Structures are given as structure tokens and as C-alpha cells.
Amino acid sequence: MLSYNDHVALAVSGGKDSLTLLNILVKLERKFPQSKITAVCVDEGIEGYREEALNLAAKECERLNVRRLVVSYRELFGTTTDEIVKRDLEKAPCSYCGVLRRKAINKAAALIGATKIATGHNLDDEVQTVLLNMLHGDPLRIVRSGPVLSDVRGKFLTRIKPLCDIPEREIVLYAYLNGLQFQTVACPHSNEALRNDLRTFLNQMELKHPGTKFTLLRTSQRLRELVIKTPRPLELNACEKCGDPTPHKYCEACLMLAIA
Ligand code: SF4
Ligand code: ZN
């Protein structure tokens, strides 16, 4: 996932996963003097929720002496998640917020000249997403995610998920053993009923049939390898509004912002 001279833009939300990954990457960075880490914190504009996480992230970056860049939806897109959810939306708030976060992190990474983007997704997140995509009838999305996502056309930075095969409970254990302070309250807009059901289901399966989560992760990796061998990559155009690469006329974020 990493090269000795990478400049990693690490998305730090202030939750247990990103703070754990930050601590581990900092240890690695010290062994490779040509590598660099910048923590990227995104302020979605969610009152009463995001401030605490941003503060926790800031404190940990200070303690570890890591550079930090904070970008906000307000300054990048002229709106906030709080404002978007007040509109009459077709999809759940996270669909909008997630798309904008990806775009915000891409912009921040480009700004600092990063060579890779890292996120703190863990094994549980990954396998829940695999099943979610199946239940949403979008199996090809499984191909477009995964532990290392590099764009063969070179238009997007490679995104990596170094904790993708670490169970969530081991990350919690690492965070507690290392005395990390992380945010525990949930976002007021999160409506993750289906994901929560899948979390419960997968935890029950894991208890009864140990190894279920790893098997699912490997199955998705095999599917990915099979599919990548066959289709040709999509042709990309420049979004007519912002210039970002997109298979359509406008990128997903610009379409959503127009709706919002
Ligand atoms: Fe955004 Fe949803 Fe995450 Fe809240 S839970 S910050 S709305 S993606
Ligand atoms: Zn666009």
C-alpha cells in the first residue's frame, strides 16, 4: 500500500479508526525519513457533533507533531450537511455528505501535493459495505471499492485502507490500550438502519462461525480480481461545472449541489 517516500493525506475524523491509523502511520513514518503524513480533517458543518471530533483530532495531531489541514464544506462547496438535510432530499443525508467528503479529501490531498490518500475503514466497515452493495443491487460498486483503489487513468490519487482487515474490536482495544481519546457520539443525521442490521447479523455470524468476516472480505477481493480482468475502464470527461473527472456530463458532487 505504501512506498518509502509517500506523502500520505490521512483522513482524520476524530473517531477511533482514524486516530488509531494515525498513531500507527506515525510510527512507520519515523522509520522512513522521506515519507510524510498530513492529517486531513473535514468539517461537514454539523452543529453539536463535528466540533468535538475536530478538537480531538487537533489534540492528537499536536501530541504526535503531525501537520493538519482542515477543509470545510462551507468554504469548498458553499453549503453544509446541516443545510443540505433541511431540503427535501431523495436520498439519505449520508449519500450527499459522503460524496462531498470524498471530493473534499481529494481537493485537500491535491492542495498539499499528497501521493496517496489513506482512510481508517476497518474489516467490519468493509464487509458491511460489501453486503450493502449486494442488497442495493449494485455489485459493481464492490469492484470500485477495496483496500487499494488506484485509477488506471491516473486522474485520481490512489486511496488505501490500511486497516481493512483489522476487526473493529481490535481497533477499539488498540485505542483503549494506548489511551486515545476518540469521539463516541453518533452523527445526528446518520440513518444507517440497514448497515446496523448488517453489523448485528455479521457479529452473530462471526460468533457462530468464526472467520465469516475475513471470508467475505476475501470473496470480495476475488470478485474484484475477476471483474478487473474483463471490462475496459470507463471513459472519463471533465465535469462541465468543476472540471473533475466524471463518466457523465457533471460529476456526482456538482449534481448533488445543484439539487441541494
Ligand atoms: Fe455525514 Fe452521514 Fe457521516 Fe453524518 S453519518 S457525517 S451525515 S456521512
Ligand atoms: Zn463537478
Q: What is the pLDDT of residues 180-189, one digit of tens each?
A: 999 988 899 9
User: 233 versus 256: which is more confidently predicted?
Assistant: 256
What's the gap between Cα 123 and its chain centre?
13
Around ligand 1, the residues with Cβ closer than 6 Å are 44, 46, 81, 93-94, 97-98, 187, 189-190
DSSP state of 119: -
CA 59 to chain CA centroid, Å, is 21
pLDDT for residue 170 is more than 70:
yes
Report the residue among 41, 87, 94 best suited for mutation to probe ligand 1: largest number of ligand atoms under 8 A from its CB. 94
165, three cell numbers: 482487515
Query: Nearest C-alpha to atom 8 of ligand 1 is from which residue?
Result: 94
**Ligand positioned closest to the Cα atom of 45:** 1
Using 50, 70 and 90 to split pLDDT, how confident is the model at 5? very high
* pLDDT for the residue 233: 63
CA atoms within 13 A on the CB side of 183: 20
pLDDT > 90 in the chain, percent: 76
User: What is the distance between the alpha carbons of residues 161 and 165, in angstroms, rounded to a whole number?
Assistant: 9
**For residue 150, what is its C-alpha cell?**
488506484
Say if CB 15 and CB 8 are below 8 A apart: no
Backbone dihedral angles phi then psi of residue 69, each to the nearest 5 degrees? -125, 125
Give the ligand at the shortest distance from the Cα of 95. 1
Q: What is the mean pLDDT of residues 131-160?
A: 86
Distance 97 CA to ligand 2 centre (A): 15
